[in-house]
Chains A and B, each alone.
Chain A
Amino acid sequence: MADSPAFESPVVRSYETSEDGDLLLTDVSATIKWLVRASPDGAVADQLGASFGSSSAAASGATVLGSRPGEWIVLGTAAEAAGAVEGLEGLDSSDLVSCLDWTHGRALFRVTGNEAARMLEKVCSLDWSDPMTPDGAVASASVAKVTCDVARNDVDGTPSYLVFCDRSFGQYLFDALIDAGDEFGLVVGPAGG
């Protein structure tokens, strides 16, 4: 993101923040995000290593999410993400490949805590239990009526979910997640990236 304008989170309201809570909601929209599109069974798919519905770790340290058939989201620091997508567009001349930095176009929130699945199930119709969506699982679904990509990405053994949506829905979705987590004691953590 070195060549990009300064990042401004879509979450513009201010909240009382804390890092102590059984259920923590954090705005991590500043995380570098790349969207890669290519054939779901070509050389790019082999290199990225994450099939639809799963995630993998790239050699550069970035996290690769198989968000849709033939679509991947690459997350990490600027160097990690750039390392993961470098060379993909020229990897296979017979495949149409596109890599797009959409850091500014998507909001990204992290929900962490043992009650995170129950909270998500209030606003999403998918089954977020361990057998159906273990650590590393990726799905796209409606969350509080907003089309989102959701990835389970546990932190130190604690269930944690990354929720992506279009930037323009960011503030609404953040507030909707706060409402959904209220009964579980959700606290808002300091924004990160």
Chain B
Amino acid sequence: MLLVPCPNCGPRNSADLRYGGESHARPDPATAAPLQWRGYLYLRDNPAGWLRETWYCRSGCRRWFTLERNTATNEFRDPPQPGDKRGAKA
């Protein structure tokens, strides 16, 4: 079982959350080139190591948050604190 540290609810079973994928900055719609949009929409780093990702606490506080997970060991680090404004698109 993967225990995800929700900033509001505390450690929760990952089955109570929804995985939101890698977290990366959205390009500026006014200036982004098609290649940048393609990269944002379809390309993922998928590292074997630390990755910043988004989660949605669907059964608990219903808030999006981002944190870092080691995809090789499933360790978490840098969880946001309650009231942190980092959202899905941070």
A-to-B contact residues, CB < 8 Å: 40-41, 52, 68-69, 125, 139-142, 147
Contacts and interface: CB of A to CB of B under 8 A. Distances in A.
B65 to A, nearest CB: 11
Contacts of B15: 125, 142
A69 B60 contact: no
B18 to A, nearest CB: 11
B58 A147 contact: yes
A39 to B, nearest CB: 11
A52 B61 contact: yes
Interface of B: 8-9, 12-13, 15-16, 58-63, 82-83
Contacts of B9: 139-140
B8 A141 contact: no
Contacts of A41: 83
Contacts of A147: 58-59
A140 B13 contact: no
Contact of B16 (A40, A52, A68, A142): A142
Report whether over half of chain A's contact residues are helix, strand or loop; otherwise say mixed: strand
A192 B15 CA distance: 33
B16 A69 contact: no
Contacts of B59: 140-142, 147
Given A69-B83, A140-B62, A147-B58, 8 more contacts: A41-B83, A68-B62, A68-B63, A140-B9, A141-B16, A141-B59, A142-B16, A147-B59
A63 to B, nearest CB: 20
Contacts of B62: 68, 140
A41 B83 CA distance: 10
A83 B27 CA distance: 48
A71 to B, nearest CB: 8
A69 B57 CA distance: 12
Given A52-B8, A69-B8, A125-B16, A140 B60 contact: yes
